[in-house]
Amino acid sequence: MGVAGSIWAGLLLQAGWVALADLLCLTDGIARDSRRFIPDPDNTSHLGAETPIRLVLFDWPSAAVASTLAAIFIRALGHVAMDCWMSEILFNFEQFVLANPDVAPIDLGSIGYSGENALAVRGSVREAAYASSGLALEFYRSYNVSAHDAAAYFDRISDLKLSHFHPCNTSSNEFANDVEMRLYGKWTGDWAGVVETDSGYIANCPDGHFWISPACRHNTSECIPVLAAGNGWIVYVFMQWSTFYQIPAAIGISKTWDTFTANVAAFRVLFHWWIPDATFHHLDASMLQLPRHKAQEWAVGNYRSADPQSYIAKLVAHSLGSVAPKVQEFLENFDLDLEVAAAVPVEDVACEWIRKNRARWKKWVPVDTQCFGCVGV
Ligand SMILES: *[C@@H]1O[C@H](CO)[C@@H](O)[C@H](O)[C@H]1NC(C)=O
Ligand SMILES: *[C@@H]1O[C@H](CO)[C@@H](O)[C@H](O)[C@H]1NC(C)=O
Ligand SMILES: *[C@@H]1O[C@H](CO)[C@@H](O)[C@H](O)[C@H]1NC(C)=O
Ligand SMILES: *[C@@H]1O[C@H](CO)[C@@H](O)[C@H](O)[C@H]1NC(C)=O
Given a cut of 90, is residue 262 above it in pLDDT?
A: yes
Cα(169) to centroid(ligand 2), Å: 6
Q: What share of the chain in percent tops pLDDT 90? A: 47
Asked if the bond preceding 52 is cis, omega within 30° of 0, the reply is: no
Distance CA 24, CA 73 (A): 10
Q: What is the pTM of this model?
A: 0.69
Residues with Cβ within 6 A of ligand 2? 167, 169, 171, 208
Beta carbons within 10 angstroms of residue 258's beta carbon: 10
Given a cut of 90, is residue 239 above it in pLDDT?
A: yes
pLDDT digits (tens, 9 = 90+) for 147-164: 999 999 999 999 999 999
Given a cut of 70, is residue 288 above it in pLDDT?
A: yes
pLDDT digits (tens, 9 = 90+) for 343-365: 445 566 666 767 777 777 777 66
Residue 371 pLDDT level (bands cut at 50, 70, 90): very low
Q: Give the number of whichever ligand sits closest to the CA of residue 242.
A: 4
Q: What is the mean pLDDT of residues 103-110?
A: 62
Distance CA 153, CA 143 (A): 11
User: Dihedral sign, CA of 279, 284, 288, 294?
Assistant: positive
pLDDT digits (tens, 9 = 90+) for 180-190: 999 999 999 99
Indicate if ligand 4 lies below 6 Å from the C-beta of 147: yes
Cα(262) to centroid(ligand 3), Å: 27
Cα(306) to centroid(ligand 4), Å: 18
Q: What is the mean pLDDT of residues 309-333?
A: 66
The pLDDT of residue 309 is 73
Q: Helix axis angle, 235-244 relative to 178-188, nearest 10°?
A: 10
The pLDDT of residue 308 is 83
Pick the residue whose CA is nearest to atom 13 on ligand 1.
48
Q: Chain-wide mean pLDDT for the chain?
A: 75
Cα(198) to centroid(ligand 2), Å: 12
The pLDDT of residue 265 is 96
Distance CA 352, CA 68 (A): 12
Q: Are 278 and 68 in contact (CB under 8 A)?
A: no
Asked if the bond preceding 308 is cis, omega within 30° of 0, the reply is: no
The pLDDT of residue 191 is 98
Q: Which of 222, 223, 224 to mutate to test the pocket of ligand 3 (most atoms within 8 A of CB)?
A: 222
Residue 77 pLDDT level (bands cut at 50, 70, 90): very low
Q: What is the mean pLDDT of residues 1-25?
A: 32
Cα(125) to centroid(ligand 4), Å: 23
Higher local confidence (pLDDT), 91 or 300: 300
Given a cut of 80, is residue 283 above it in pLDDT?
A: yes
pLDDT digits (tens, 9 = 90+) for 130-147: 999 999 999 999 999 999
Q: Residue ranges per domain, the chain?
A: 7-79+317-362, 116-299
Q: What share of the chain in percent tops pLDDT 70? A: 54
Given a cut of 50, is residue 75 above it in pLDDT?
A: no
Question: Minimal CA–CA distance to 255: which of 162, 331, 164?
Answer: 164
